[in-house]
Amino acid sequence: MNKILIGEMSWTDFQEKMKDTDLIIMPVGVLEEHGHHNPLGTDTHIAESAAYEVGKATNLPVAPVLPYGYTTNIINFAGTISLDPILYRDVLKSYCESFIKHGVKRILFINGHGGNTDILQMVSRDLFDKYECLCMYTQWWEVLPQINKEWGCTDHGGYFETSLMMAVNEKIIDMTKAKSLLIFNLPRKLNILMAGNSIMLELMFLQIYTIFKK
């Protein structure tokens, strides 16, 4: 049996595998809300599944997914969990360093969550500076619009992300609860898209509800 998941390999299987490659795939996710219809682990599930498929197709070892990440603006939704960004950086670095000790020289992160992006960039630089380990990351919402202009992928738990999640495991999606509301525009020029990550989305939803009720 050709094993792809490092968690399923024995140490001797892994040693054998590392004779043919110095590249591993590492999926990273987060636990956070994705609307009423999607699971909290959406980003983790997508990253884990994508990493497995890529590993299988390229015969590369895949590390166990890290299910906790960095998220700020949606922390007020139940079930959303965030690590401090510097702690997250240290954890990822430490995780990678262990593999570097075992001969890994290239790491491809499959990132399922936008909040992790900056940290992945930092970790990639850290690991190159310290070990000359080459790291790159891909994020489906950045890759897909460049391949197919019709796939905007500008949503969070919306049309595209929910569709992708369906490909991963449609049993844990409840489409009857799917519902879209316009994101409340902030006064003046501060549109949510431009404002970035520092706005409490929940607050905005409350405001939307209030406006809709009127």
Partner 1 sequence: MKKVLIEEMSWVEFRSVMADNDLIIFPVGSIEEHGPHNPLGADYLIAKKAAYDVGMKVNAPVAPVMPIGNASNLMGFPGTVTLDPELLRNVLLQVCEGFIKQGAKRFLFINGHGGNTSTIKIVSNDLCEKYKVFSTQTEWWLILKQMSEFPCNDHGGKHETSMLMVVDDSLVDMGKANTVKRKNLTEKLVYEDGLTLNGVSLPSTFPLDKVTPVGNYGARAEEASKELGEKMYETYINYCCELAEEIRKIPMV
* Contact positions vs partner 1 (CB under 8 A): 1, 5-12, 14-15, 18, 31, 33-41, 44-45, 63-68, 75, 77-84, 87, 90-91, 94-95, 98-99, 101-103, 171-172, 174, 177
Compute the least distance from the CB of residue 63 to partner 1, in Å. Answer: 8
Q: Which of 154, 145, 157 is nearest to 36 (CA)?
A: 157
Q: Outline where DSSP puts E strands in the chain.
A: 23-28, 106-111, 134-139
Compute the least distance from the CB of residue 141 to partner 1, in Å. Answer: 20
Compute the least distance from the CB of residue 188 to partner 1, in Å. Answer: 30
Query: 169 or 185: whose CB is closer to partner 1?
Result: 169
Please tell me the distance from the alpha carbon of residue 172 to that of residue 55, in angstroms, as a whole number.
24
User: Phi and psi dihedrals of 56, rounded to 5?
Assistant: -65, -45
User: What CA dihedral angle connects 193, 195, 199 and 205, to 10 degrees?
Assistant: -40
Query: 8 or 118: whose CB is closer to partner 1?
Result: 8
DSSP reduced 3-state for 14: helix
Please tell me the distance from the alpha carbon of residue 13 to that of residue 72, in angstroms, as a whole number.
39
Compute the least distance from the CB of residue 79 to partner 1, in Å. Answer: 4
Query: 144 or 178: whose CB is closer to partner 1?
Result: 178
